[in-house]
Amino acid sequence: MEKRILSLLVDNKPGVLSRISGLFSGRGFNIESLCVAETNDPGVSRITLVTEGDDMILEQIQKQLNKLINVIKVIDNKEKPSIYREMLLIKVTAKSTYRAEILRIVDIFRCKAVDVGPEHYTIEVTGDEGKINAILNLLRPMGIKEIARTGTIALARASV
């Protein structure tokens, strides 16, 4: 089983997302995460999704996606070096003993504290999956109240 990040350019029309998610559920494929938003062309949305499977399944997923009438293009991010980002908002318990330590971590990870209260910080982190997981692991002992995490988005690097 291999993880794969696919970027889809699709018609920005009602029902398109459900065609895609329905394809995955109906055929027993797996969606690990999914991000959707309009592109610079308002008629087109970009969907980044993370899926997994063996070679034949990953090939089938891409073919099936291409077969949908509303899917304009399927980009396999494995084919080109790409930049991957996720964003995480994390509300962490911040008792006085840990407040300085938390801010040090925020500093090291080059992220931001975006909300503060007597007992908590809310921190905004962007980065690839590894970085997000690393900060989560570091903050876990302090007590995580809540997290909100986007799926991965990806863009191929342009050749220089």
Partner 1 sequence: MNTLKEEGVDTIFGYPGGAVLDIYDALSQTDIRHILVRHEQAAVHAADAYARAKSTVGVSLVTSGPGATNTVTGIASAYCDSIPLVVLTGQVPRPLIGNDAFQEVDIVGITRPCTKHNYLVQSPDDIAQTVKEAFYIARSGRPGPVLVDLPKDIINTKVTYKKPKPINIRSYKPTYKPNIKQLKRIVTLLKKSERPMIFAGGGIILSEASNELIKLANTLKIPVTTSLMGLGAFPGDDPLWLGMIGMHGTYRANMSTSACDLMIAVGVRFDDRVTGKTDAFASQANIVHIDIDPTSIRKNINVNVPVVGDCLQTLTGLNEIIQKEDFGNIEKRRLPWLNQIDEWKNDQRLAYDQKGDIIKPQYVIDKLYELTKGDAIITTEVGQNQMWAAQFYHFKRPNRFITSGGLGCMGFGLPAAIGAQVASPNELVIDIAGDGSIQMNIQELATAVQFNLPVKVVILNNEYLGMVRQWQELFYKKNYVWTHMACAPDFVKLAQAYGAKGFRAKKAKDVVPTLKKGLEAKGPVVMDFRVAQEECVYPMVPAGAPITEMLLV
Q: Is 22 in the site for partner 1 (CB under 8 A)?
A: yes
Q: Which is nearer to partner 1, 33 or 60 (CB)?
A: 60
What percent of the chain is helix, strand and coil (3-state, nearest 5)? 30, 45, 25
- The count of chain residues that interact with partner 1, using the rule CB under 8 A, is 20
Under DSSP, the state recorded for 157 is: P
Give the three-state DSSP class for 106.
Answer: helix
Instruction: Choose, by CB under 8 A, the member of 11, 52, 76, 129 that binds partner 1.
Output: 11
Q: Is 141 in the site for partner 1 (CB under 8 A)?
A: no
Per-residue tokens: 133: 């997981």
Q: What letter represents residue 113's amino acid?
A: A
Per-residue tokens: 156: 């191929």
Shortest CB 96 distance to partner 1, Å: 52
Q: Is 63 in the site for partner 1 (CB under 8 A)?
A: yes
Q: Which is nearer to partner 1, 54 or 146 (CB)?
A: 54
Binding window for partner 1 (CB under 8 A); candidates: 70-78, 87-95, 118-126, 151-159: 70-78
Query: Which residue do the tokens 């910080």 mark?
Result: 121
Per-residue tokens: 159: 């050749």
